[in-house]
Amino acid sequence: MFYMDSKSQFTVDIIAKVIDGRMSINSAATLLSKSRRTIERYLNRYRKEGIQFVIHGNKGRAPVNKIPESLKKEVQNLIQTKYYDFNLQHLSELLAKNEGLSIKRETLRSWAHDIHHVKRAKRRRSRVRKYRERMESAGLMLQMDGSPHRWFGDERSCLIAIVDDATSDIHAEFFPSETTEGCMKVMRAYIEKRGVFKTLYVDRAGIFGGPKRSNFSQMQRACEELGIEIIFANSPQGKGRIERSFDTFQDRLVPELRLNKVTDMASANRYLQEEFIPNYWARNVMVEPKSVRSAFKRLPDDLDLNTICVQKEYRKIRRDHTFSFDNKMYVIDSPVRYSIVNQQVEIRCQFDGTFSAYFGHRRLDITELAEPRKCSEYGKEVQRKIEALELVEQLGSISKAARILGCSRQSLYTYQKIMAEEGPIGLKRINKPLKRSKNRIPEHAEDKIIELTLLNPHATLMQLMKELKQHDIIVSIGTIKNIWKEEKLNTRELRIKKSQSMNIDV
């Protein structure tokens, strides 16, 4: 027994009429939209097989090119366990490269949909914007930005990149955050590789001299010395080249770093520079410029990147040829023919923490002045406490220092804590021993508040007040707030952190 659809039933009825002589072959061919030869073949099969002639010979047979079910299960298992954060095109490439499985993207898409595991792109409704053509020549305009993201490991880091608008040639590095140091290092590396470019297209961040730092910016100063013009974008879409590159990096680079077990910044930078950019970006993303003529220029001989890509600050020279920097005093040892009092000395700070002083492009020899400590600045009592803390550092033991000084260990602990938090000024405020206020609640009540807070760090002030009433402790919300502030428990995150550090189940 078999079932026929309406089309098959109609074909059988027409062929039966031709067999009975009630319809011609030409009329049947017209009604069935078949050729005469096909109708004749239907008649021959009808006489031999009956109405079963309408069933196609391949019905019920597996296609010759059908992919085995075991392969499908294997690939789906790889998607769920190993390649769960790759997009379909990237997944297809890696299956062919790492697993030796050549599977088309659409086949992968259907298999991924079967297990409800498809990485989708974020789609947001946006404004209609005018398309801007690429620059004609390489080096006419470069775009620069940073992208904070959890690129590798458990900590967030920032990828700072610079990309050519004409060719999409890119250089990028990982840094802990988007800083002037990182931007200068990326720009310097690109200039050393390609040359000095014409314009830099950036957002309005303070690093590049935006509204927050419009008076002075190290990046803006360095670009002016190199002859590079900074252009500020009015929207992220304006510098779409660099924004879309970050989408590609987050989509492809993050899972590749995870797959290669990269968890530190040095290894991530090495993989980015030696593997990802040469093997993928240069082959698949970079394009040829419209114009063969390049806008890059060789760095002039009179310019040195070591003196440009640094942080520069200026200090005024005093009457005794000294200046202050970083809370220290320095004297100029270089011989000078004329007095340079009230002139500006240029401080060039390297990113490794060292610095040098220049006057009129001439490096100055300087010496740090070790000024004697003033005993009367904070008073003799504070000076005595500072000397006590120095004795603790020399001996390496608070107990030994307490025996020598004839004071309690708790006093030395208190001095250390206040010195670390407030400095010598804080030591000045504790000349007299602290006394407990008469209006303060009893100590056992404070201990109970802290105990209940750590047992339930998620509790609100009202919930804690109700719980304290069950222990016959009646306090106000302000009192609980003050105790939390003294014990550094005034936020939920601090309460949870301290509760976990004390091994209390939250």
**Residue range of the domain that includes 208:** 141-284
Stretch 363-387: mean pLDDT: 74
Tell me how far apart the 2 most distant CA atoms of the chain are, in Å. 131
Check if the beta carbon of residue 427 is closer than 8 Å to that of residue 385: yes
Helix (H) / strand (E) element for 127: namely none
List, as one string, the DSSP characters of 199-226: EEEE-S-GGGT-GGG-S--HHHHHHHHH
Long-range contact pairs involving 207-214 (C-beta distance under 8 Å, separation at least 24): 207/178, 207/179, 207/180, 207/183, 208/144, 208/183, 208/232
- Give the separation between CA 67 and CA 63, rounded to whole angstroms: 9
Q: Is residue 390 domain-shared with residue 340, that is, in the same domain?
A: no
Alpha carbons 227 and 298: distance in angstroms, whole number: 12
Residue 484 has pLDDT above 90, yes or no: no
Residue 146 sits in the same domain as residue 232? yes
- 386 and 352 in one domain? no
Question: pLDDT tens-digit profile of 14-71?
Answer: 888 888 888 899 998 988 898 999 989 889 888 888 888 887 777 767 777 788 888 8
Residue 270 has pLDDT above 90, yes or no: yes
Q: Give bridge partners of residue 324 from the DSSP assignment.
A: 329
d(CA 506, CA 263): 30
Answer whether 163's CB lies under 8 Å from 220's CB. Answer: no
Structure token pair of residue 126: 């946006």
Q: In what order do the strands lie in the sheet with 328-332?
A: 322-325, 328-332, 366-369
Question: pLDDT tens digit string along 339-354?
Answer: 888 999 999 998 888 8
What's the pLDDT tens digit per position in 276-289?
999 999 999 999 99
| CATH value at residue 224 | 3.30.420.10
Q: What size, in residues, is the chain? A: 506
Residue 94 falls within a domain, yes or no?
yes
| Domain presence at residue 122 | no
- Residue 86 and residue 23 share a domain: no
Shared domain for 15 and 46, answered yes or no, is yes
Letter string b/e over residues 365-399, b meaning 16 or more CB atoms within 10 A of that residue's CB? ebeeeeeeeeeeebeeebbebbebbebbeeeeebe
Q: Is residue 265 part of a domain?
A: yes
In a domain, 292, yes or no: no
Say if residue 162 is in the same domain as residue 245: yes
Do 278 and 409 fall within a single domain? no
Q: Is 123 contained in some domain?
A: no
Q: What is the pLDDT of residue 376?
A: 44
Does residue 391 belong to any structural domain of this protein? yes
User: How high is the pLDDT of residue 80?
Assistant: 87
Residue 10 has which token pair?
């109609």
Q: Are residues 189 and 255 in the same domain?
A: yes
Q: What is the pLDDT of residue 496?
A: 86
> Could you tell me if 46 and 77 lie in one domain?
no
176, 219: one domain: yes
Co-location of 145 and 270 in the same domain: yes
In this prediction, residue 435 has a pLDDT band, given cuts at 50, 70 and 90, of very low
- Write down the pLDDT at residue 21: 86
Query: In this structure, is residue 269 part of a structural domain?
Result: yes
The mean pLDDT value for 415-435 works out to 70
Over residues 148-158, the mean pLDDT reads 92
Residue holding tokens 């990113």?
351
pTM greater than 0.75 (yes/no): no
In a domain, 178, yes or no: yes
- As for how many domains the chain has, the answer is 6
Asked if residue 168 and residue 90 are part of one domain, the reply reads no
CA distance 261 to 396: 42
